[in-house]
Chain A
Amino acid sequence: MTERLDGPRVPSEEGTASTRADTPHVQRRLGPSPKVAILFILPAAVLLAVWVVYPIFYSIYRSLFDASGTGFVGLGNYTTIFSDQSTFYTIIHNLWWVVLAPIVVTVLGLIFAVLTERIKWATAFKLIVFMPMAVSLMAAGVIFRFVYEQDPDKGMANAVLTVIASPFASEGYPDARPWGNAKSPIQAQDGAIVTKQQVQAGTPALIPIVGIKQPDVPADAPVAKPAAGPGLTGTVWFDFTRGSGSNGAIDGSEKALPGMTVEAVQNGRVVATTTTADDGTFRFEEIQQGSYTLRLPKENFQASFSGVSWLGPAPVFAPELGLHIVTISIILAFVWVWAGFAMVLIAAGLSAIPRDALEAARIDGATEWQVFRRITVPLLSPVLLVVFVTMIINTLKVFDLVYIIAPASVQPQANVIALEMWRVAFGGGNNQGLGSALAIVLLILVIPFMIMNIRRFRREGT
């Protein structure tokens, strides 16, 4: 409904040069007679009444009835919205959108606009930044669904992150763990693996490990061997034989785990450190007689960075206020689409700024930052406000991006009013009473910004 009213009217250019607007004001009275005017307005008015006014009032009426449309529930549906936690959270999510998205879009648009004024290839740059506007939001959603894919082989965002992180990654054995039952001689402790019993020199320690993913076992890893010889020794190996599983004994065909760091710990202090050899054995040279706990520190098991769960419910940034990472990811997609629009509007405004004011300031010795801060931005403020308010309205009615980007299991954490409205009314809920109530709530949220916009148009008109 709000679609057309917030459209890119670009009223700003006249606004900045409002002195000229007085002349057509007088001319308007010389126009056609009111009767003819009404005749011409009539088709539009009828269409508006049928497609906008009637639906609004019918929605209000319908929102007072239950799912079947026959039972009057008064304000029951509105109570449901604010008492049902998941529905209420859709409003909270929408508010996050309103807080975050318009600001980012406007600031980014302003930066782009100001910077492109100075570069040679401004048109080409603007064209590229504006291009996402040519893509429908639906298609943008599909694109970003892929960008945010968790698997770095598919998702561009994680592919970039993992490539950046890869030089710092350690070669390890992620997912390695002791076997699940109580008979295991080792146990997990704060990410490390330690022996349950103290070990002494002379009795080789056995550290059987399972669960290592096939690709992480070195293909040429030799078969594990029992340790022998003097000193504190032992073997670390992948204790899994096809058919018989894990039994804590080195069975002759099981793979060694070379390159594993082993620490000897006494009274909570690391006394010595060594590394397993190719056959999985390790030996502490020159260590005093006594009992030690052996520890495989957690560095052995660190998985290489596999990217961020962009579309997950976690991390949560404001647990009580329902800001999940998925919302931020989707807002970034929204910014990608709309930044170009903001840039073009602001650039248009920028070109209408009187140059002499800027020149005067520069001659008076103002720095570029001061010029930007004290002259450009105030002169641009009408345009910035238009962009900002338009974005607020756009974020309030956002639907397609959330619908497409958020995986079904995370939709409750990403849900917004427009999507909830559709889902409740048509997408399975079949409760058009509650759906209408949500539509009205959305309308009420949009109205202040509509009024703001209309007032501005009026002010500029006079």
Chain B
Amino acid sequence: MRKVRAAAILAGLAVAVAACGNAPTTTPPTASESAPATGGAKTLQGVKLEVAAKWTGAEQKNFEQVLKAFSDKTGAQVTYASTGEDTGAYLGPRIQGNNPPDVAILPQPGLVQQYADQNALKPLNDAVIKEIDANYTPYWKELGSADGKVFGVLIKAAHKSLIWYRSQAFEDAGVQPPTNWDELIKASQTIADSGTPPLSLCGASGWTLTDLFENVYLSTAGPENYDKLSKHEIPWTDPTVTTALEKIQQLVGKQEFILDGTSGAMQTDFPACVTKVYGQDKAAMVIEADFVATEANQAGAKVGEEAKYVPFPKVGDTAPVILGGDVAVAMKDNPGAMALLQFLASAEGGAVWAKLPGYLSPNKNVSPDNYPDELTKQLGQTIISAGDTVRYDMSDLAPSAFGATDGKGEWKVLQDFVRNPNDIKGAQAALEAEAKKAWK
């Protein structure tokens, strides 16, 4: 905790120095009368911009610091509007009323296509596209595109390829953090023998199961198949899916591996399963994203000491790195909006943000050294070293009836599969049937 706080203070100072050049005063981001930016003229003096995103609290404050850095550089005045949890419900009426924000940050790439269909998005100009080409792999460019035009850029990432563990449980059992799938299964057996259920499964939250499947699938089937399955170009009855489910079966097929057994795990939803590992010390591992850190902290476990993680181990040939994250798009075609997107897509803007806590950049030119703490540095490193094989969360790319609805689609079928892990063929057939309904 202390380390994190010190790092945060350092990061804050660094931002102050980077942003203001001199005079590290704590003036709120009103107008930018003083603060001479180091290079170039303030080309956007007097321009007013509005950015809408879902962030609140600390995330909002951090983002506003990034916006301030942009203001200081260009002279534009940027205001932030919070969309609340349901971005669509906020943006929809504003689009209808012809009064959209200049820039919006969408929580799912799927929305890019949806809003592009409504002609609510403005294609990015060449300067922004050049910036994207320089800093992102082609996969991300395609993700922000619709109908052959580039509309958005992924500016903030969540790392979904992690296994969190409780170091005490590993020590008690005398096992080392696993580096591949077989080691993970073996370690799980040993931990179970030692009297601790190895895995706390968040079965009631269907998205945690899709995350598990995606990691195993990306690793065993490779990025090309992953892309095809994301678009339903190959059926769910494909042999590559069988392989992935067989691997998952090794983990969830044994009652002794799962805390409270399958039926208990199926009633445990997301933050509760983390608390069972860290607050109540009942299980050894939980498979979820970087944001587990917040829950672990709340449960009283120090991240890095008691709460540790390993990158999701290789199951097949690919070391899986799956990201979730937010895509910035322009809803008005003006130089200010384009300049802001260019800034957010640049290594410069990314570096400003990276120095603040709670941020991970998908930008390959944002050096991991910028991150305020060790954990984030390592996460950033995995993204950069995975390079072209990094993928976006598959279920968030699917129609929401398939990939994001309680009791339906992929969530339901995977829950049924965990209840009855022997029926791989049945699960595949059910997935394919659900996918056909959603993609028709």
Contact = CB atoms under 8 A, between A and B. Distances in A.
Contacts of B173: 242, 245
B179 to A, nearest CB: 18
Given A409-B206, A410-B266, A211 B192 contact: yes
B307 interface: no
A238 B193 CA distance: 9
Given A430-B400, A431-B401, A240 B406 contact: no
A401 B189 CA distance: 40
A319 B415 CA distance: 19
Contacts of B192: 210-211
B206 A214 contact: no
Contact of A211 (B256, B266, B411): B256
Interface string A221-263: 0000000000000000010111111100000000000000000
A409 B260 CA distance: 15
B193 A211 contact: yes
Interface residues of A, number: 39
Nearest to B205: A408
Contact of B263 (A86, A216, A241, A312): A312
Contact of B405 (A175, A177, A210, A428): A428
A246 B407 contact: no
B183 to A, nearest CB: 14
B227 interface: no
A150 B194 contact: no
Contacts of B203: 409
B195 A212 contact: yes
Interface in B199-244: 203-206
Contacts of B415: 409
| From B172, B193, B264, B415, residue with most partner A Cβ within 10 Å | B193
Contact of B174 (A150, A179, A242, A430): A242
A314 interface: yes
Contacts of A240: 193-195
B174 A245 contact: yes
B407 A408 contact: yes
B193 A428 contact: no
Interface of A is mostly: loop
A217 interface: yes
A394 interface: no
Contact of B194 (A242, A408, A429): A242
A428 B401 contact: yes
B412 interface: yes
B370 to A, nearest CB: 37
Interface in B382-440: 399-401, 404-408, 411-412, 415, 419
Q: How large is the interface on B (under 10, 10 to 19, 20 to 34, 35 or more residues)?
A: 20 to 34
A415 B263 CA distance: 18
Contact of B406 (A177, A214, A313, A427): A427
A210 B193 contact: yes
B172 A415 contact: no
A245 B401 contact: no
Contacts, number: 100
A94 to B, nearest CB: 16
B195 A409 contact: no
B96 to A, nearest CB: 16
Nearest to A238: B195
B201 to A, nearest CB: 10
Interface in A101-141: none
| From B173, B190, B203, B406, residue with most partner A Cβ within 10 Å | B406
Nearest to B276: A151
A211 B405 contact: no
Contacts of A428: 400-401, 404-406, 408
A429 B405 CA distance: 7
B71 interface: no
Contacts of B196: 213-214
A409 B209 CA distance: 11
A312 B266 contact: yes
Contacts of B404: 428
Contact of A150 (B256, B260, B406): B260
A409 B267 contact: yes
A213 B411 CA distance: 31
A456 interface: no
A423 B408 contact: yes
Contacts of A297: none
Interface string B258-280: 00100110110100000000000
A407 interface: yes
Nearest to B268: A407
A10 to B, nearest CB: 38
Nearest to A403: B406
A389 B271 CA distance: 41
A313 B419 CA distance: 10
A217 B172 CA distance: 14
A408 B401 CA distance: 15
A311 interface: yes
Given A242-B194, A412-B407, A412-B412, A180 B267 contact: no
B305 interface: no
Contact of B266 (A177, A217, A245, A409): A409
Given A408-B206, A412-B412, A423 B195 contact: no
A245 B406 contact: no
A242 B172 contact: yes
A220 B424 CA distance: 45
Contacts of A217: 195
Nearest to A411: B407
A211 B258 CA distance: 12
A408 B193 contact: no
A96 to B, nearest CB: 17
Nearest to B190: A245
B264 A150 contact: yes
A243 B196 CA distance: 15
A180 B171 CA distance: 21
Contacts of A407: 204, 266-267, 269
Given A217-B195, A246-B193, A408-B406, A430 B411 contact: no
Interface in B269-299: 269
21 contacts: A175-B195, A179-B193, A210-B193, A210-B195, A217-B195, A240-B194, A242-B173, A245-B193, A245-B194, A309-B264, A407-B269, A408-B206, A408-B411, A409-B204, A411-B406, A412-B407, A412-B412, A423-B406, A428-B400, A428-B404, A428-B405
Given A211-B192, A407-B266, A415-B407, 15 more contacts: A150-B267, A180-B193, A210-B194, A211-B256, A214-B172, A214-B196, A240-B195, A242-B174, A246-B193, A407-B267, A407-B269, A408-B406, A409-B415, A412-B408, A428-B404
Interface of A: 86, 150, 175, 177, 179-180, 210-214, 216-217, 238, 240-246, 309, 311-314, 407-412, 415, 423, 427-431
Can you list the 7 inter-chain pairs with the closest CB atoms, starting with the nearest? A428-B405, A243-B174, A411-B407, A210-B193, A242-B174, A408-B406, A409-B266
